[in-house]
Amino acid sequence: MDQHSEPAPAKQPAPSASGEVGVRHFREIVLWPIYLSPSEPHADVPDYAQRLLDTAPDGLWQEVADEFTADPAAFQERHYNEFVAFLPAVQRFLYGQGRSAAVKHGYGDSPIRVLRRMDIQQVRVQLGRDDPALLFDVAHVDLYFFFDIDIAVLTLEILADNMTLRTAQEVMFQFGRAYPSFWEEDDTAGHCPWRVEWLGAGGEVLAASDYGDRHKYLAFTAKHRAPCLASHWEYLLRPLALDHTEAQGPLRYRQLEYYRMPLMAFLALDDPGKLGPNEIVQLALANGRTDGTERRGAKKRSAHFEAQRGSARFREIRDEENSGTRYLSSGRALVVAGDAGNPFFTHLEHGVLARFRHQDFLLFLIAHFHRAALLMFSDRLAEAVGRLDIGNVAAVQAFRRATRHALETFLRFTHRYWFSEVSDQTETADLFALCRQHLGVDRLYADIRQEVQDMSQYLETEAMRRQNETIVRLTVVTIFGLIGTIVTGFLGMNLFAYSDETALTKLWLFFVIFVPTVLLTLYTVKKSRQLSEFLDSLSAGELKFRRFWRGYRK
């Protein structure tokens, strides 16, 4: 997938000479899955990406050009390396089918559309009240849309050079927070940066965080029973409007997952051999530094570091051929750490860094897209069941329509987007398997599939029950109508000579018989359930007339 040209990384103060591990080059990519919905209730929006392009201010969002063109001069080796890393089904999902005239019957274009925000060039992050501000360049701000799925994934990549490992760990721990989880007594937002600012091309501040505005978050949650987003993240998605608010926008969105965004991190270290067991666990879980700093939760996390290292909380893959590069995966985080002195590790086009930004990013994106889509299905099914009222015919019909739509959408998702394997390359396959394992997508898929099947089975059972009741009612009406049929047939044996009567008399006699017959038939249908019970009791020899009469009169 496309990545635009790289800016020069922002320069940070060089690490101190106190023996602490230094990070010569740092990158972080945060992914934020969101649940989309039209602004107008029950509106049909076939293409969310096109809706955003048509309604956003000019130039704010632009569609990313597909670099996989038919022009060999524009096709680079890194594009080829990225393409062949995946299995054919995944290739068609990511890149679509060829556009040449020889391809007459294919899959068409990729079901993914990517829009890029063009105004944000840098981000300034101040981790603590007394900490110096850190300046990061923004490589890209992209919004991934998926055809026929009400999901979008916001991706933001930041980069900088020369910082300490502790600083990098804190950035990984604090930066991707959609909203605070708690506040200290001085209104400092827990586990969040003190301040985050989006900067434009001229260094102007476009938006700033408001994590410390405790009243805003409490009032919003009390009113809407939903979390309020930090102002700078809300700004990043404009003109999309946050659900539960009065803001107007072409589309609405709400959060699907935990307020801490999944992340990828690349760390080129000056001495990877200095990484101890605690640092490895910290990097894998993105839990921040453990330098004795007193803050809420720090001691608890430190006490469980060794247990986490020996458990399934994260896994480590070592690439000894490439200077001992470490791939650390914990589902929520995918971290690549290696030697900054190894040119292959830091090469932007052919090395580990290129793979991190392309192949590794795509497999991480697929895994989290799977999880977000399944959570969206779960939310939709829960909403449909919550609205079901078996005593309300309109509610039952709405539930039937919602279930059928969920079945159709889930079927298309399974056949178009669901992959248990993405590559035969060992490291790519292993990383994808680790991400899926930690995210629990297979278990979640099985749960959602069972829920969909349960709802479908309920509809089938309900339809069968209604059909059986209809058959019983018709059978009862037929049985009791048989009496009238015999009687009228008997009367039709010329016992009464009406053939010589006038036409008016015959018409009057017809209505005399027709009206009582219709009324008797309708009344029989109304009492068909009681009459059915009467027939059952009669056939079983258990008829008690008084009990039947009491039930019949009800």
In a domain, 480, yes or no: no
Query: How does pLDDT run along the chain (554 residues), one tens digit per residue?
Result: 554 445 555 555 444 445 678 899 999 999 999 999 887 776 677 788 889 988 888 888 998 876 565 556 666 777 788 888 888 888 888 887 655 444 444 445 788 889 999 899 999 999 988 899 999 999 999 999 998 888 999 999 999 999 999 999 999 999 999 999 899 888 889 899 999 999 999 999 999 999 999 999 999 988 888 888 999 999 999 899 888 777 788 888 988 888 899 999 999 998 888 888 888 888 888 887 655 444 454 444 444 434 444 344 445 565 555 556 888 888 788 999 999 888 888 888 888 898 899 889 999 999 999 999 999 888 888 877 777 777 777 777 777 787 788 888 888 888 888 988 888 888 888 888 888 888 888 999 999 888 888 877 777 777 777 777 677 666 766 766 665 665 565 455 555 666 667 778 777 777 777 777 777 777 776 776 666 666 666 655 555 555 555 555 55
Q: Is residue 428 part of a domain?
A: no
Same domain? 359 vs 501: no
Please identify, among 336, 370, 404, the residue that sits at the C-terminal boundary of a domain: 370
Burial (Cβ within 10 Å: 0-12, 13-18, ≥19) of residue 22:
buried
End residue of a domain, out of 370, 395, 428: 370
Number of domains, the chain: 2
The range of the structural domain enclosing residue 516 comes to 497-553
Q: Which amino acid is at 439?
A: L
With respect to residue 128, please indicate whether it lies within any of the assigned structural domains.
yes
Element (H, E) at 545: helix 545-553
| Same-domain check for residues 365 and 502 | no
227 part of a folded domain: yes
Instruction: Output the pTM of the full model.
Output: 0.78
271 vs 25, 146, 275, 323, CA distance in Å?
13, 41, 8, 11
The CA distance from 358 to 274, in Å, is 28
| In a domain? residue 424 | no
**Which of the listed residues 370, 401, 430 is the one where a domain comes to its end?**
370
Q: How far is CA 390 from CA 160, 396, 398, 453, in A?
A: 59, 6, 11, 19
Under 8 Å between Cβ of 255 and 234 = no
Confirm whether 180 is domain-assigned. yes
What is the rounded CA–CA span in Å between residue 83 and residue 67? 11
Instruction: Provide, for the chain, the percentages of residues in helix, strand and coil under a 3-state DSSP scheme, each rounded to the nearest 5.
Output: 45, 20, 35
Residue 129 lies in a domain: yes
Q: Is residue 295 part of a domain?
A: yes
